[in-house]
Amino acid sequence: EILLTQSPATLSLSPGERATLSCRASQSISSYLGWYQKKPGQAPRLLIYDASNRATGIPARFSGSGSGTDFILTISNLEPEDFAVYFCQQRGSWPLTFGGGTKVEIK
Amino acid sequence: EVQLVESGGDLVQPGGSLRLSCAASGFGFSIYGMGWVRQAPGKGLEWVSYITNQMTTFYADSVKGRFTISRDNAKNSLYLQMNSLRAEDTAVYHCARGYCGGGCEAGRYFDYWGHGILVTVSS
């Protein structure tokens, strides 16, 4: 099973700032990594797939990078609606696994 | 508009059984793989199970042998039969549509999700 470790656990930032979230895989997953946004009481939302591709309707301020074992989600110019929990997920091999999440909170 | 609506959640005793359903609409259900993902209270997301459009199934180790995923394409419905339930199965269960991303040679992401249904396992 591929373990995904996200850091930091919590990121305290102000609107307009840049958020940088990390996801590290326990073994290489090529570019098979996605990112989701999750808000309380809502369904998760796919933001990025295959490391760097934005999903349909996702604003350009969300960007992803990385390959192999190290991946980054960047949210430039944080909007009020971006404060949420973010999860990474790998599809490189079964079983599918998620990271533990990074909470982006308002400072 | 793609819609996924879960039902069947309940309070059940340890060792009991429950069947979740997911009604899909707004897309060609039969050509997509579908999955279940859960979130325990205060915890992160955990993938549970997946069924391809060819009926191939995959399970997380934590539920293998206890849960069974199935689908009825005529009814545009996805199911999760959960047996031998444990307290640690308590969670909100989401139904989600599989998405291949750049190619279907590996696993899947999930591009559309239901809002989820609560399953509570407690005596």
Candidates B44, B102, B113; nearest CB to A100: B44
In this prediction, residue A89 has a pLDDT band, given cuts at 50, 70 and 90, of: very high
Cα torsion through B107, B25, B28, A30, rounded to 10: -20
Q: What is the pLDDT at residue B103?
A: 81
Q: In chain A, whose CA is at the least distance from the CA of B97? A: A46
- Report whether pLDDT(B106) > 90: no
Which residues in chain A have Cβ-Cβ distances shorter than 8 Å to B47? 89, 95-98
Angle at Cα A46 formed by Cα A40 and Cα A52, nearest 5°? 135
Interchain contact, B116 vs A91, CB within 8 Å? no
Which residues in chain B have Cβ-Cβ distances shorter than 8 Å to A42? 115
Q: Print burial letters for B86-113: b (CB count within 10 Å at least 16), e (below 16).
A: eeebbbbbbbbbbbbbeeeebbbbbbbb
User: By the 8 A CB rule, do A87 and A5 touch?
Assistant: no
**Backbone phi, then psi, for A58, in 5-degree steps?**
-85, 130
Residues B59-81 have a mean pLDDT of 98
Which letter does DSSP use for residue A18 in this model? -
Give the C-alpha distances (Å, rounded to integers) separating B54 from A50, A94, B31, B32. Answer: 23, 17, 9, 9
Residue with tokens 């604003």: A59
Average pLDDT along chain B: 96
How is residue A106 written in tokens? 């308002």
Interchain contact, A46 vs B108, CB within 8 Å? no
**Alpha carbons A50 and A35: distance in angstroms, whole number:** 9
Q: What is the pLDDT at residue B45?
A: 96
Q: What is the pLDDT at residue A38?
A: 96
Interchain contact, A46 vs B37, CB within 8 Å? no
Q: Is B5 helix (H, G, I), strand (E, B) or coil?
A: strand
Residue with tokens 């996805």: B78
DSSP per position, A64-99? EEEETTEEEEEE-S--GGG-SEEEEEE-SSSSPEE-
In this prediction, residue A99 has a pLDDT band, given cuts at 50, 70 and 90, of: very high
- Report whether pLDDT(A11) > 90: yes
